C-alpha cells in the first residue's frame, strides 16, 4: 500500500508532466503502459517502482532525484533563490525547449555569441524601460 511519500512522488510526476505539456497518453505510450496506470501513479493510488520511476524521469528528461525529493528540488529550494529561479525556469516548457536547442549547438563560439546577443538584448530592454 502506498504511503504519503509515494503519493507525493506520484503527484509530482503529474505536476511535471503537465508543466512540460505532456499528456498522460504520451507518458503512457513512452513507458509502454496504460493511461489508467499513469492515472493511478499520479493520484498516489499505486506506488511507482524504482525502474519505472527511472523511466518516467527519462521520459520527462529530469533526474530521478528531481521526482523523489521535491523538498530539495527547484520548486521548494530555499538554499539559493537564484538556483530556485533557474531550476523553476528550466522546468517550464520554454526552459526545456531553450535548453534542448542550446545543447544541439555544437560550436562553443556560436553558443558564446548567442549568449552575448541575449545579454545585449536584455540590457537594451532594461534601458528602454528606464527611459
Domain ranges of the chain: 4-72, 93-130
Per-residue pLDDT tens for 65-84? Answer: 778 875 544 444 334 456 65
**4-72 placed in CATH 1.10.1740.10:** no
Closest to 55 in 3D by CA, of 28, 94, 88: 28
Count of CB atoms situated within 10 Å of the CB of 125:
10
Count of CB atoms situated within 10 Å of the CB of 122:
10
Each residue's pLDDT, cut to its tens digit, for the chain (131 residues) gives 878 888 989 998 998 888 888 999 999 999 999 999 999 999 999 999 999 999 998 888 777 877 887 554 444 433 445 665 677 787 788 888 898 899 899 999 999 999 999 999 999 988 888 88
Amino acid at each position: 500500500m502506498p504511503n504519503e511519500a509515494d503519493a507525493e512522488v506520484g503527484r509530482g510526476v503529474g505536476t511535471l508532466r503537465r508543466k512540460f505539456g505532456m499528456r498522460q497518453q504520451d507518458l503512457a505510450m513512452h513507458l509502454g503502459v496504460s493511461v489508467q496506470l499513469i492515472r493511478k501513479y499520479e493520484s498516489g493510488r499505486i506506488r511507482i517502482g524504482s525502474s519505472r520511476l527511472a523511466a518516467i524521469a527519462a521520459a520527462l528528461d529530469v533526474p530521478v532525484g528531481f521526482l523523489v525529493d521535491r523538498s530539495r528540488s527547484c520548486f521548494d529550494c530555499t538554499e539559493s533563490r537564484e538556483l530556485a529561479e533557474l531550476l523553476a525556469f528550466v522546468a517550464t516548457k520554454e526552459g526545456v525547449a531553450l535548453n534542448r536547442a542550446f545543447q544541439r549547438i555544437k560550436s562553443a563560439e556560436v553558443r558564446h555569441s548567442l549568449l552575448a546577443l541575449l545579454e545585449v538584448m536584455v540590457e537594451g530592454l532594461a534601458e528602454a524601460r528606464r527611459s
